[in-house]
């Protein structure tokens, strides 16, 4: 099958550090190539792939410090649409930007929506574009937009060797992610304090979250049981995740997927997650961690964490969250969209 993958340009594919969407697009692209598909990747020029790369801008927009990021994405659209008849299917990862064009084009296409969808700006748009097939990354992500044409949910997947399984449990809890109001590192601190455990915090602080960090979080970190590490690279992340007795995921927003949960499973580390967004779909309560509603239940869960088998966590990862599963799920959707019975046809 001739497949085009259309990535955002903010980060390279794969990204140098942070960049969830670009990382998943990279895993998908490389696994599709391994499975014998003919894949073309539209992405920033510093991207790397075993498929064919069509570079849109020399460097990722963040590294290149672009002032007008939309201009590059309009150029991306143009490059995709002038080549679109070369592909059996075009798979977009750039939200709704291409919808008016795709509606008027004669090729098959599908879009994975990677972001949160609960913004009031979106329903009017998706009411107008019910003919655009879209894929969610969790079932819960769909809730605000029932009118969209959902053609599947595909969970993210990682290469099995990208994280190392650790058989024995470490002696600390871990918070790994961004410091931002919706990620609730303050809850993680409270859970660790009341559980009398060590807590390692490996966290990136985005510019927009600096004020929140300084005002609400910084003063909480002066505790002997906390180790604040800052942003980490992949090797450090692998070590930190593998060495933790549990990953704390005390979120307070409709997380569309939550890659770090499956990274933890890949290391054999259970996850204690708050029941928001995708969490109930990713964690099997009592088997690969615990789904909790408040801090009391989270502290209880920490006390029971030895009941969770780390081998079970790893096998959950291997059975549901590898790049192979993800690629197969997407191929199934591509075939469905390409079948003569599919109603998704653009004029």
* Binding residues for a second copy (CB under 8 A): 57, 66-72, 74-75, 77-78, 81, 96-97, 99-101, 103-105, 119-122, 124-125, 128-129
Whether the Cβ atoms of residue 90 and residue 337 lie closer than 8 Å to each other: no
Least Å from the CB of residue 122 to a second copy: 6
Least Å from the CB of residue 261 to a second copy: 26
Least Å from the CB of residue 202 to a second copy: 29
Least Å from the CB of residue 314 to a second copy: 38
CB nearer to a second copy: pick between 6 and 291? 6
Long-range contacts, 45-54 (Cβ 8 Å, 24+): 46/12, 47/7, 47/12, 47/13, 47/14, 48/12, 48/13, 48/14, 49/13, 51/5, 54/79, 54/83
CB nearer to a second copy: pick between 57 and 174? 57
CB nearer to a second copy: pick between 130 and 164? 130
CB nearer to a second copy: pick between 120 and 235? 120
Tokens 């006390």: give the residue.
303
Least Å from the CB of residue 46 to a second copy: 16
User: 206 φ, ψ to 5°?
Assistant: -70, 160
Least Å from the CB of residue 103 to a second copy: 8
Whether the Cβ atoms of residue 82 and residue 70 lie closer than 8 Å to each other: no
CB nearer to a second copy: pick between 50 and 75? 75
- Residue 272 has a CB neighbour count (10 Å cut-off) of 27
CB nearer to a second copy: pick between 129 and 290? 129
């Amino acid at each position: 099958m001739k497949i085009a993958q259309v990535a955002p340009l903010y980060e390279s594919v794969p990204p140098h550090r942070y960049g969830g969407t670009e990382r998943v697009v990279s895993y998908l692209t490389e696994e599709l190539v391994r499975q014998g598909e003919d894949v073309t990747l539209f992405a920033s020029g510093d991207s790397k792939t075993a498929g064919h790369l069509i570079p849109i801008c020399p460097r990722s927009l963040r590294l290149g410090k672009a002032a007008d990021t939309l201009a590059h994405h309009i150029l991306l659209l143009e490059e995709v649409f002038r080549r679109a008849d070369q592909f059996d299917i075009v798979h977009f990862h750039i939200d709704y930007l291409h919808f008016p064009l795709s509606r008027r084009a004669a090729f098959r296409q599908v879009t994975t929506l990677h972001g949160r969808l609960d913004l009031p700006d979106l329903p009017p748009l998706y009411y107008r574009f019910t003919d655009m097939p879209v894929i969610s990354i969790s079932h819960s992500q769909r809730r605000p937009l029932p009118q969209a044409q959902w053609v599947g949910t595909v969970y993210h997947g990682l290469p099995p060797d990208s994280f190392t399984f650790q058989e024995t449990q470490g002696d600390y809890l871990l918070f790994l992610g961004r410091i931002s109001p919706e990620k609730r590192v303050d809850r993680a601190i409270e859970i660790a304090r009341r559980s009398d455990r060590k807590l390692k915090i490996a966290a990136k602080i985005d510019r927009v979250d600096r004020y929140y960090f300084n005002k609400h979080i910084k003063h909480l970190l002066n505790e002997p049981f906390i180790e604040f590490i800052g942003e980490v690279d992949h090797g450090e992340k692998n070590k930190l995740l593998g060495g933790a007795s549990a990953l704390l995921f005390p979120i307070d927003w409709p997380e569309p997927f939550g890659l770090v949960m499956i990274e933890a499973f890949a290391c054999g580390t259970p996850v204690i997650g708050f029941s928001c967004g995708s969490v109930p779909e990713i964690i099997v309560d009592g088997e690969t961690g615990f789904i909790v509603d408040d801090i009391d239940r989270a502290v209880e869960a920490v006390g029971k964490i030895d009941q969770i088998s780390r081998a079970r966590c790893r096998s959950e990862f291997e059975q549901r969250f590898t790049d192979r599963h993800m690629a197969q799920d997407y191929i199934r959707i591509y075939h469905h969209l390409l079948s003569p019975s599919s109603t998704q046809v653009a004029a």
